[in-house]
Amino acid sequence: MTMTLQDARLRWPGCESYRPGDSAALNAEILGLMRTGVKRASCEAWEVFEDGAEALPVAGRVDIALDWQGRPALAMRTLEVLRLPFEEVTEGMALEQGEFRDLAHWRAGYRAYLERAGRYRPGVEMMLERFELVEDLGT
CATH code, domain with 57: 3.10.400.10
The answer, yes or no, to whether residue 39 has pLDDT greater than 80, is: yes
How does pLDDT run across 7-16, given as a tens digit for each residue? 999 999 999 9
Query: 17-18 and 41-45 as β-strands: parallel, antiparallel, unpaired?
Result: unpaired
The answer, yes or no, to whether residue 139 has pLDDT greater than 70, is: no
Domain that holds residue 42: 5-133
The whole-angstrom separation of Cα 95 and Cα 120 is: 21
pLDDT at 3: 87
The answer, yes or no, to whether residue 52 has pLDDT greater than 90, is: no
Structural domain includes residue 66: yes
Query: 41-45 and 125-136 as β-strands: parallel, antiparallel, unpaired?
Result: antiparallel
Does residue 89 contact residue 34 with C-beta atoms inside 8 Å?
no
Over residues 55-82, the mean pLDDT reads 97
The answer, yes or no, to whether residue 22 has pLDDT greater than 90, is: no
Count CB atoms within 10 A of the CB of residue 19. Answer: 18
pLDDT at 119: 94
How does pLDDT run across 93-106, given as a tens digit for each residue? 999 999 999 999 99
Q: Which helix (H) or strand (E) holds 105?
A: helix 103-116
Count CB atoms within 10 A of the CB of residue 138. Answer: 11
Structural domain includes residue 138: no
Could you tell me which of 73, 48, 67, 64 has the C-alpha nearest to residue 13?
64
Number of domains in the chain: 1
pLDDT at 79: 98
How does pLDDT run across 40-51, given as a tens digit for each residue? 999 999 999 998
Structural domain includes residue 139: no
Output phi, psi for 126, to 5 deg. Answer: -115, 150
Over residues 56-72, the mean pLDDT reads 97
- For residues 6-17, one letter each, b for 16 or more C-beta atoms within 10 angstroms of the residue's C-beta and e for the rest, the string is eebeeebeebbe
pTM: 0.91
